[in-house]
Structure 1
Amino acid sequence: MEWYEATLLMVGGLLVLMLSGMPVAFAFLTINVVGVYIFMGGMVGIDQLVANASTSVTSFALVPVPLFLIMGELLFHTGLAFRVFDALDKCLGGIKGRLSYLTVGGGTIFATLSGSSMANTAMLGTTLMPDMIKRGYKPHMIMGPILATGGLAMIIPPSSLAVLLGSLGRIDVGALLIAGLLPGLILAVLYAITIRIQIAIDPDAAPGYAAERAPAREIIRGLIVDVLPMGLVIFAVIGLILLGWATPTESAAFGALSVVILAICYRVLTWEAIVKAMRGTLAVSVMMMTIIVGSTTFSQILAFSGASSGLIAFATNFDVSAYMMLFMMFLVLLLLGMFMDQLSIMMLTLPIFMPIAALYSFDPVWFGVIMLLALELSLVTPPFGLLLFVMVGVSPKGTTIGDAARASFPYICCTLLLAVVIAIFPQIALWLPSMMR
C-alpha cells in the first residue's frame, strides 16, 4: 500500500469515525485495530496493540497530569480560589469595567494554580457572571474576558496539556512548562488593554457604579491573608522547576501538597471537597489516558505503514520557507480545532509535526509554545470549541455558541498577534528556559 493510501485509511478513517459521533477514545482504538490487522500481520499486530496499551500510559513523565488536576479541583471545591477574587475585588473600587478587569487578574492567578482551562472558565463564569449581568454589563464584556482568561490555563504553568505535549513530543517538560509563563502573562496584559479599548469605544458596555475602594488596611489584610499564601503553590510548581530544584513530577507533587496544607490552614479541607476533587480528577485522567492508549499506537502504525515518512517527504518537497511551513502547521491546528478537542488534535498531529519541526531546525520548546497557542485558540473556535460549550452552560438561557464566539473574537486577535510576535522573536518563549538551564 502506498503511503498516501495508508494515510487516507488511518487519518481519514479516524476523522470519519469522530464526525459520526463516536467518542474519541473508541475512534482511535477502532481505527488502530484495523491498522494493525492490515499493516502489522493480523492477530500478531493485535497482540502488539495490547502490549502497547500498558506501555503508553505507564510513562513516568505523565505523572504530573493527575497531580495538576488534583490541585485545580481542590482549589475549586475548597473555595480557596474564591478568596483570591474577594481580595482582588477590594482593590479595584468602582472603575469602569471593574469586573472585566477582575476576571483577567483573578483568572490569570487561578490559571497559575489550576492547570485546567475548563475549570478556570467554569469558575469565572459561575463566580463573576451573575454580578456582571446584575450590573448591566453587555454580553460581549462578560463572555469575552471569561473565555479568553479561561484559556490561559493551557499556556501558563501548571498546564496539563503542556505536560502531555512535552512527554509525547519528546520535549523537555520542565522547559516547556516554564516557557509558557511569559507569553501567558503578556496575553493577560493584552486582554486588559482590549477591555480598555472596548470601554473607550462603548462606555455603556461596562458601566461604572458606586463602589468605594476598601480602606488600605483592609486591602493589605486581604492581599496578605488570601493572596500571598497562594504564592506557596506558585513557587512549588513554577519556582522549584525554574530554580532546578525539582523535576516537573516532583513540583506537581509539592504543588498538590501545598494546596492541601493551605486548605488545612484555612480549615476548608472537608471530606466532601476531597471526594469531589478526586472524582473530577479521576474522570478527566481516565479520559486522557484512554485517548493516549489509542493515539500512541496510532502514531506507531503511521510510522510502520510508511505514512509518516511519506507525509514528511511530501511536506518537505514544497519549496517554502520555515515561516511558511510554520504558518501551514498553525493553520492545520486551527482548522482541526473547529471540529476536535485539543488532546485529539495533539495526538493526531504530533507524529507528523515533530519530525517536520526537526527538519526545519525549529527549537522544540519554542515550537511547543506555538502549538499550545494554536490549541488555546481552538478552545474558542466554533462550532466545537470546548470553552464555548462551557460558557453557554453557565450563561443565561438563550445564549448561543455564536454569541460566545463573537464575544471572544477580539481576544482571539490578541492570541494571533502574540503568536506572530513569538514566531519573529523566539526569545520571548525561550528566555526563562535558558535561565533555568
Structure 2
Amino acid sequence: MTWVAFSVFIITLLFILLASGVWIAIALMTTGMSGLYLAGGAKTLLSLGSISWNSINSFTLSPVPLFIVMGAIILRCGVAQRFYAALAIWLRFLPGGLLQSNIVSCSVFAAACGSSVATAGTIGTVTIPELKARGYDDRLIFGSLAAGGTLGILIPPSIIMIIYCSIVEVSVAKLFIAGVVPGLVLAVAFMGYIGLRCLLNPSLAPAHSETVTLGEKLRSLGDILPLFGLIFFVMGSIYLGWATATEAAAIGVLASVIIAALYRGLSWENVKEAHLSAVRTTCMVLVIVVAAQVFSYALVYSGVSRSLTGWVIGLDLPVFVLFLAIVVLYIFLGCLIDGASMMLLTLPVLFPIINAAGFDLIWFGVMVVVLIEIGMITPPIGLNLFVLHGIGQGTPYTDVARGALPYVCLMLGFLLLMWFVPGLALWLPDQMTVAR
C-alpha cells in the first residue's frame, strides 16, 4: 500500500470515529493500532507496551498533576470572587469599567489555575449577574469573558504547553517564559478593543456612580496581592533558574495551600475535591497522550511522516504560505475538536514538516497555543462559549458567539504580528537561565 492510500485510510477511519462520538483517546488509539496492523501485521502491536510506558515515563510531564492540584485548590478556596471584587475597585475608572476587570481578572486567575474553561466559568459565575444588573451590553460581557478565559493556556503555567514540550522535546521552562509577553500583549489588545468600543458608544458600559475611598483601595490589596504573588513566585523561580518546571509546580502547590488557609478555605472537603479533580484530569490527559503516541508511531512506522514531509518540502512552498496553511488547518479543526486533542492529532504529522522548514520550535509552540485559544471561542465546538452560555441566564448562544468574534480577529492579527516580530515570543527565553 502506498503512503497516500495509507494516509487516506488513517484519516478516513479517524474522522469516522470522531464523527460517531467516540472519545478522542479511543479514536486515536484505534486508528493507530489499525495502522500498525495494516503496516506490519500483528507483531507490530507488541510495541504498544513500550510506547505506553515511554510516553508517560517522562520528566517533562511530571508538572502536570502538580499544576492541576494548584489550580484546583485556588478554584475552591474563594479566591476568584474576592479577587474580582478587589480588582474592579482599581479598574472601574477605565473606559469599559467592569469589562476591563473581566480581562485582567481572567488573565491573572487563568495563570494561577491553568485552565481556560475553569477560568471562564468561575469568573463568569461571579460577574455575569452583576454586569447584567448594571445594564452592560450582553455581547461585550460574554465576549470579554470568553476571550479573557482563553489566556489561561498562554500565560503560564499551562498544561497545553507541557504536553507540547513532551511531544517536540523542548524546554518547558523556555516555552512557559515565551508565553508571557504574547499573553500580556493579547490582554492589552482585548482591553484596548473594549475601551475603544465603549468610548465610541458609552451606553455599552454604563458609568459607575459609586465613589471609592483610598482606604477601600488599600484594603482591597489584601485580596489582589496573594494571587499575583503566587504567579510571580512560580514563574520567577523558573525564569531565574532557581527551579525546574516540576519544582516550581511543587512550590505553587504549597503556596496555593497557604493562600487557601489565609482565605479560610482550606477545609478537608476542598482539599479532597481538589485532589480528586486533579486525578481525573491527569488521567484524562495521560490517556490522550499515550493514544497520540500510538497514532504517531503508526505514521512513522508506515513511512507516512517521512513521505509526507518529503512531498511538502518538494512543493517548495514559501515559508509564509506554509505558515498560513497551518493557521487555516488549526482554525478548521478548532471548530470541531478541543484544543489538546487538536494538538495531539496534528503534531505527529506537522512536527517533521515544521522542523524541515526551519521553524523555531519555541515560537511555533506559542503560535499553536494561540490557535488553540481561537478554537476555544469559535463555534460550534467552542468550549468557553458552551460554558458561558450555560451560566448566561438565558442569553442566546448566538449572542455569546458573536460577542467572541472580534477577539478571534484580534488573535489572528496577533499571529501575523508574531510572524513579522518573532521576538515577541523569543526575547524573554533568550534572556533566561534554565534550571538543571
Q: Same fold (TM over 0.5)?
A: yes
Change (3 A) 1:131 1:159: same
Post-superposition Cα deviations, 1:275-311, rounded to whole Å, max 9, x if no partner, equal: 2212222222121111111110100110100111121
The alignment partner of 1:229 has SS state of helix
**Aligned residue type for 2:166:** S
Q: CA deviation at 1:102?
A: 0.8
**Aligned residue type for 2:119:** N
* Gaps in structure 2 of 5+ consecutive residues: none
- Kept in 2: contact 1:37–1:46 (CA 8 A): yes
Post-superposition Cα deviations, 1:129-188, rounded to whole Å, max 9, x if no partner, equal: 111111111211110100000000110001110111111121221101110000000111
Q: Which residue of 2 aligns with 1:168?
A: 167
Mapped to 1, the partners of 2:76 and 2:245 lie a distance apart of 24
Q: Which residue of 2 aligns with 1:36?
A: 36
Q: CA deviation at 1:95?
A: 5.8
Q: Which residue of 2 aligns with 1:428?
A: 424
From 190, 215, 235, the equivalent of 1:217 is 215
Mapped to 2, the partners of 1:301 and 1:397 lie a distance apart of 46
Post-superposition Cα deviations, 1:48-85, rounded to whole Å, max 9, x if no partner, equal: 12332232122121111111111111111011232221
- Kept in 1: contact 2:238–2:244 (CA 8 A): yes
**Aligned residue type for 2:48:** L
Q: CA deviation at 1:398?
A: 5.0
Mapped to 1, the partners of 2:281 and 2:310 lie a distance apart of 37
**Aligned residue type for 1:399:** P
**Aligned residue type for 2:39:** F
Q: What aligned pairs does 1:344-383 form with structure 2 within 5 A after superposition?
A: 344-383=341-380
Q: Which residue of 2 aligns with 1:4?
A: 4
Mapped to 2, the partners of 1:310 and 1:93 lie a distance apart of 57
Q: Which residue of 2 aligns with 1:110?
A: 109
| 2:262 corresponds to 1:265 | yes
Mapped to 2, the partners of 1:113 and 1:382 lie a distance apart of 27
Let me know the Cα RMSD of the aligned residues: 1.5
Mapped to 1, the partners of 2:311 and 2:158 lie a distance apart of 33
Mapped to 2, the partners of 1:276 and 1:103 lie a distance apart of 26
Q: CA deviation at 1:336?
A: 0.7
Q: Which residue of 2 aligns with 1:19?
A: 19
Q: CA deviation at 1:96?
A: 5.2
Instruction: Report the count of equivalent residues.
Output: 433
Post-superposition Cα deviations, 1:222-253, rounded to whole Å, max 9, x if no partner, equal: 21x22222233113321011101111111111
Q: Which residue of 1 aligns with 2:396?
A: 399
Q: Which residue of 1 aligns with 2:247?
A: 250
**Aligned residue type for 1:429:** A
Q: CA deviation at 1:393?
A: 1.3
The alignment partner of 1:267 has SS state of coil
Q: Which residue of 2 aligns with 1:319?
A: 316
Mapped to 2, the partners of 1:251 and 1:35 lie a distance apart of 39
Mapped to 2, the partners of 1:284 and 1:395 lie a distance apart of 25
- Kept in 2: contact 1:369–1:429 (CA 8 A): yes
**Aligned residue type for 1:426:** P
Q: Which residue of 1 aligns with 2:404?
A: 408
Q: Which residue of 2 aligns with 1:125?
A: 124
**Aligned residue type for 2:220:** G
Mapped to 2, the partners of 1:133 and 1:194 lie a distance apart of 20
Q: What aligned pairs does 1:111-190 form with structure 2 within 5 A after superposition?
A: 111-190=110-189
Mapped to 1, the partners of 2:132 and 2:274 lie a distance apart of 29
The alignment partner of 1:196 has SS state of helix
Q: Which residue of 1 aligns with 2:384?
A: 387
Bigger mean CA offset, 334-343 vs 280-289: 280-289
**Aligned residue type for 1:64:** P
Matched residues, percent identical?
35
Change (3 A) 1:375 1:29: same
- Kept in 2: contact 1:157–1:237 (CA 8 A): no
- Kept in 2: contact 1:100–1:141 (CA 8 A): yes
| 2:57 corresponds to 1:58 | yes
Post-superposition Cα deviations, 1:365-410, rounded to whole Å, max 9, x if no partner, equal: 011111111111111111111111111111123522x322211111
- Kept in 1: contact 2:94–2:100 (CA 8 A): no
Q: Structure 2 length normalisation: TM-score?
A: 0.96
Mapped to 2, the partners of 1:398 and 1:210 lie a distance apart of 27
Change (3 A) 1:245 1:156: same
- Kept in 2: contact 1:33–1:46 (CA 8 A): yes
